[in-house]
Structure 1
Amino acid sequence: MAYSFERRGNAAKQVRKIARDQVESGLALARAGGDFDKTVHDLRRRCKKVRGLLRIVRPRFSEFDRENAHFRNAAAALSPARDAAVMVETLREAMSQSWASPIADADKARLAEALEKNAASVAAGLNRAQVLADFAGAMEEVLPRIEDWSLKGDDFDLIEPGLSATYDRMRKRMKTARKSGRPEDFHDWRKDSKYHWFHISLLRESAPDVLGGRRSNLDTLGELLGDHHNLHVLLETIDRLVPNAAPPILDGLRAEQEALGDRALVLGQQLNVETAEQLTTRLRHFWQLLPEKD
């Protein structure tokens, strides 16, 4: 089953089916032993999809806290394998921008060497087979529980409260980020924006031409906020590994981060123009366009 609702009825059954498909595909990937970095990326994404699915039924699901923590912890165990490598990629991308051209090659190389050495050290300390085996074990543990998930309500009533709450929190966190300018607040906004992206993905078959555009714009917002966060983490990592890094590099990274935040706010205001009540009312109408249950 695709990551989307396909029928108006049996929404609870569809939630369980979508979750089971994500877990089973993740389990197969973890057991396959393919390219490690790609596998880790795909496994983390599947955990995020399940957590997005859980958010849309959160007010109707008494076991939300347990299951959300389970998938959060499974993904977190994979993070060290990816995070250090992302910093290398983030610096490489930043140094390819026009503002970095006047910076001395030696200063760029010193930073790159420190980040690459750190990434190599993290990678060397990983037991890759064990990391994937632990993830597979976590998926094997949760898989039998999915059929017993007790979800209160059905049809659009099952998902409306969670859909509304997530979108409302996304709007509030954007306002907080705009007011404070703090990277941590932008990151919080990013997380709820991503959950809302998952929710629109789940509903996209109800009105693909309309929701496809919203989904695409939310994807762009997620990229802007993701790059903003990566630059924040990169600056912290540089401060830890190379505390005497060249000031022009640090200034350029901060300016790029600020520009990304400004672009995200412009797009976010457009995506958040409706109230939660207005958006969920519109999505309820779209829901009625889905076929009847089997």
Structure 2
Amino acid sequence: MSYRIDPALPVDAELRRIAGEELATMRSQLKEMPEGRQRALHMTRKSIKRLRGLLRLIRKGDEDFYHAQNARLRDLARALSRQRDADAAVETLDRLLEREKDDDKREVLGTAHRALDQRRVQIIEEEAGRSDLIPSALEEIDTVEHAFAALALPADADEGAKLLASGARTMITKARKAFKHARKRGDEHDFHEMRKSVKYHWMHLGLLGPMWPGSRLSRRKRAERLGDVLGELNDIANLSHLLKADELSLDPKAAKLLQKRIGQREKQLRRQALAHAEELFDKEGKKLRRKIERVMQREKQDH
């Protein structure tokens, strides 16, 4: 199974192959659970992310299809991620504890860690009792599969190149726009939008493979590095939301210290993210679409 478009083959066939393989993986994981329930949910969420990346690449081909199936996959991912989100909150606090040098303050933060761990255990128990989760997910997978089967995609090489180039360029434009807003305003929403756009840009670099002009592997590493920083920043923001919603029922001393450490780490991660984003987007040319089309066409001719 390869999450990469072969330029020697018709674009529509390759897009259906990739979508079909991801959907088959999801179905197999949820039905058979070869490595247990949690691993199956994790692998399913990974396939959902890849499918949503593919959807963004071909969005201009059918906007209605994109909006319907992207929303369906988004909601399915949320339904499957409750326990993973609880795990992530604990892991985020683990990282904060690793950075804490003061033993007394580590002890105070330890009360927050125990509260998060208790919350995680409760969520695990609740999720284990949901008998409807897997059957409902399998129904959604069938619906997405039928939608892909009915989707009209370009078989013509030139039209396929234009579609893919347009999707790739659109994602870069969104990421750059979010970066500029984050640098100017510093809103949490801007960093969140940049994280999503960079994640899908990284996927598009993988989907297009050697068809991407220039130093693709170097660019993909930079995108991955930025994505990791933005991912940790997102985890920090989610932990802050839990604290502000008083879901942990912490004593005032622990809550105040945790919020302070969250704020400090958030500032550090934002600075890192902006620096990495500037490196990633600063030299991106304005003629990317033409470059992608030209490289794709040459690859097809060579094959």
**TM score, norm. by length of structure 1:** 0.91
1:124 aligns with 2:133: no
Q: How does 1:12-31 map to 2 (within 5 A)?
A: 12-31=12-31
Q: How does 1:254-265 map to 2 (within 5 A)?
A: 254-265=263-274
How many Å apart are 1:50 and its aligned residue?
0.6
Summarize the Cα distance change of 1:293–1:80 in structure 2 as closer, same or farther, 3 Å threshold: farther
Q: How far, CA to CA, are the matches of 1:27 and 1:282 in structure 2?
A: 37
How many Å apart are 1:261 and its aligned residue?
1.1
Instruction: Look up the match of 2:145.
Output: 143
Instruction: Give the partner amino acid of 2:187.
Output: R
Instruction: Look up the match of 1:70.
Output: 72
Instruction: Give the partner amino acid of 1:205.
Output: P
Instruction: Look up the match of 1:49.
Output: 50
Q: Deviations over 1:68-117 (max 9, x none)?
A: 112112111112121111101110122111x4444434312210111011
Which structure is richer in relative contact order (CA contacts within 8 A, separation 6 or more)? 1
Instruction: Give the partner amino acid of 1:124.
Output: E
**TM score, norm. by length of structure 2:** 0.88
Give aligned-pair identity as a percent: 24
Instruction: Give the partner amino acid of 2:287.
Output: Q
Instruction: Give the partner amino acid of 1:119.
Output: R
Instruction: Give the partner amino acid of 1:235.
Output: S
Q: How far, CA to CA, are the matches of 1:206 and 1:129 in structure 2?
A: 45
Q: How does 1:110-121 map to 2 (within 5 A)?
A: 110-121=111-122
Runs of 4 or more, structure 1, over 6 Å off, are none
Q: How far, CA to CA, are the matches of 2:148 and 2:299 in structure 1?
A: 25
Q: How far, CA to CA, are the matches of 1:293 and 1:47 in structure 2?
A: 33
Q: How far, CA to CA, are the matches of 1:221 and 1:139 in structure 2?
A: 31
How many Å apart are 1:151 and its aligned residue?
2.3
Instruction: Give the partner amino acid of 1:149.
Output: L
**Structure 1: which 5+ runs fail to align?**
none
Q: CA RMSD in A?
A: 2.3
Instruction: Give the partner amino acid of 1:203.
Output: L
Q: How far, CA to CA, are the matches of 2:146 and 2:18 in structure 1?
A: 14
How many Å apart are 1:205 and its aligned residue?
3.5
How many Å apart are 1:246 and its aligned residue?
4.8
More moved, 273-282 vs 69-78: 273-282
Does the CA contact (< 8 Å) of 1:40 and 1:81 recur in 2?
A: no
How many Å apart are 1:207 and its aligned residue?
5.6
Q: How many residues align?
A: 293
**Structure 2: which 5+ runs fail to align?**
none
Instruction: Look up the match of 2:88.
Output: 86
Q: How does 1:70-219 map to 2 (within 5 A)?
A: 70-97=72-99, 99-126=100-127, 127=129, 130-152=132-154, 154-206=159-211, 210-219=215-224
Instruction: Look up the match of 2:60.
Output: 59
Q: How far, CA to CA, are the matches of 1:130 and 1:292 in structure 2?
A: 50
How many Å apart are 1:129 and its aligned residue?
5.0
